[in-house]
Structure 1
């Protein structure tokens, strides 16, 4: 699926007039993390003390285009679509409870070392995004942690897991 399709779906999703969508969920444009989570930056990422860490500010500065902080702050959960190595999956993050989920139709625990690194990097970026959105939110000392993998049906196609 092409990134522009997901961008449009997020824009439509965020603009739906249904009360549930106006209060509960905000879909993060995939270009926000996609611009940062390049294969090269994922490989550089090791932990929060790594001098090679490239965060949102390095790529976007103080103002992230494609992201409406006012609207996002009204919602309870971020949906964060990710595409890496031509594979899409979805993270969901609930800032008040610091609950972090992954929905992926190809990947199941136990995870490869590469996928663990990708999840850690995404968690750090989503933590930053929550801090930019909610005045009450404090970046977690240990990050938001590893995502809980939701049991979704395996996608029958020619692609392997990460």
Structure 2
């Protein structure tokens, strides 16, 4: 979804917010359990160069120039969002489930995640988020924000926050906003599935549509993107 948002022709994503594609971050933290700086799998520290397949998806210009970096993170099947003010060097986590780090292991993982993002920015030609040894001690604050009501909506919240959160409105560790009702969250799930499937950036979308037993369209249709189109599991007929 980050790749789609970064291509939007609006001021937010062209000048202010860079949504960091999560591939490298999530792959790295899976190889460094609990945020260990030396991977027990490889016995090495993190290097951006070790992930050549994903480097082309990084927009170096936006990563180094935009005042805000939004970085979705997934670990142990749970998503949360890093919000980084690169000008003031302030770091926040918006977690749909937690208002503080749930464990000491998560605190360490957060330090390591900050280090990974900082290294990616430096690799792209920008200033690291912290210098020298402080880069491994980045302190991040959890934002008190209303979040998910179910056990499975974390990704939907993170994606929607990518589009809506205004970092300057984070005040005294809180972000005031009107949370969504569950039926609204369910609608967003359908909306994002449709946007991703039918995105021009999804090179395999036509193949996916043709091969699908659930969706039978002669060609991609924009009707599924309509706010008046509601689909749930009971609407899909399969043999």
State whether residues 36 and 59 of structure 1, in contact with CA within 8 Å, keep that contact through their aligned partners in structure 2.
no
| 1:2-151 equivalence runs, <5 A | 9-38=1-30, 40-43=31-34, 45=36, 52=43, 54-57=45-48, 59-60=50-51, 64-109=55-100, 111-137=102-128, 139-141=130-132, 142-143=134-135, 145-151=138-144
The answer to whether residue 149 in structure 2 is matched with residue 153 in structure 1 is no
Structure 1 gap segments, 5+ residues each: 1-8
Gaps of at least 5 residues in structure 2 are: 153-239
- Following the alignment from structure 2 to structure 1, what is the Cα–Cα distance between the partners of residues 111 and 85? 16
Q: Which has the higher contact order (CA 8 A, sep 6+)?
A: 1
State the secondary structure of the residue aligned to 1:36: helix
1:34, CA displacement in angstroms? 1.2
Q: Which residue of 1 aligns with 2:209?
A: none
TM-score normalised by the chain length of structure 2: 0.54
User: How big is the shift at 1:92?
Assistant: 1.3
- The answer to whether the Cα contact below 8 Å between 1:28 and 1:81 also exists between their aligned partners in 2 is yes
Moved more, 84-93 or 138-147: 138-147
Change (3 A) 1:91 1:150: same
3-state secondary structure, aligned to 1:157: coil
Question: 1:118-138 deviations in whole A, cap 9, x for unaligned?
Answer: 101101101112212344447
Report the aligned-residue RMSD.
Answer: 2.7
Identify if the C-alpha distance between structure 1 residues 124 and 135 changes in structure 2 by more than 3 Å, giving closer, same or farther: closer
Answer with 1 or 2: which has the greater Rg.
Answer: 2
> Does the aligned pair in 2 maintain the 1:55–1:125 contact within 8 Å?
yes
**Higher helix proportion:** 2
Secondary structure of 2:138's counterpart equals coil
Normalising by structure 1, we get a TM-score of 0.76
Contact preservation (8 Å) 1:36, 1:54: no
Q: May I ask how many residue pairs the two structures share in their alignment?
A: 147
Q: CA deviation at 1:74?
A: 3.3
